[in-house]
Copies of this chain bind each other. A is one copy, B any other.
Amino acid sequence: MVRPRGEQAAWRREQLLDAALRMFAAKGVDGATVKDVAQAAGVTPGLLYRYFDSKEAMVETLLSERGFLPRLRELRERDHDDTRPATEVLIGLLEAFDRLLADNAELMAVFFSAAQARAPLAGLVDQGQRLIGDFLAERVAAGELRPHDTATAARTLFAAVAINRRLGTPIDVAALVGLLFPEQG
């Protein structure tokens, strides 16, 4: 297929992905029809096929191009050599992460809805946990935090933020950190 090129084409492509994201999140990947997506974008269904090979391809594009990983990496780099106290940095990190999930609630929904999308979801979780775990290990190594099972701690922190955000009942990150590192408060 010859895909449209040029500036306007790029814009249209993004617009279609936006619409797809919205509909897939709202109705589930299977529940939303190509017609739904087209209507949401204000075009006719046929047009989608000038930009994507299939509905399935739209989902994949969404998952890969709009995945969390790029933004997760940003987070990692930004907070890398922060000199503030560990708990403060950790709170910032978790809040940023929570915000990331909040901003991408629709994408989250697609992650959960996409039929065989267990892999990308696991990848997200894995990356997030590693990000936090590495940070904890650093600060333990630096003697700032008491020695502890940093891997389990990371998984726990991550899980607490993620599942509660997903359920629309965001957790108080400061309280969460205070729970695991009371001595630091």
| Total copies of this chain within the assembly | 4
Q: Does A3 contact B (CB under 8 A)?
A: no
Contacts A28-B30, A159-B160, A159-B163 given; does A171 touch B148 at CB 8 Å: no
| A 159-178 binary contact with B (CB < 8 Å = 1; else 0) | 11011100111011001101
Query: Interface size bucket, A side?
Result: 20 to 34
Contacts of A113 in B (CB 8 A): 113, 115
Q: B31–A115 contact, CB under 8 A? A: yes
Q: What are 19 inter-chain pairs, A to B, with CB distance below 8 A?
A: A28-B115, A30-B30, A30-B31, A31-B115, A118-B167, A125-B163, A125-B167, A146-B182, A148-B182, A149-B175, A152-B172, A152-B175, A152-B176, A153-B179, A156-B156, A156-B179, A159-B159, A160-B160, A162-B163
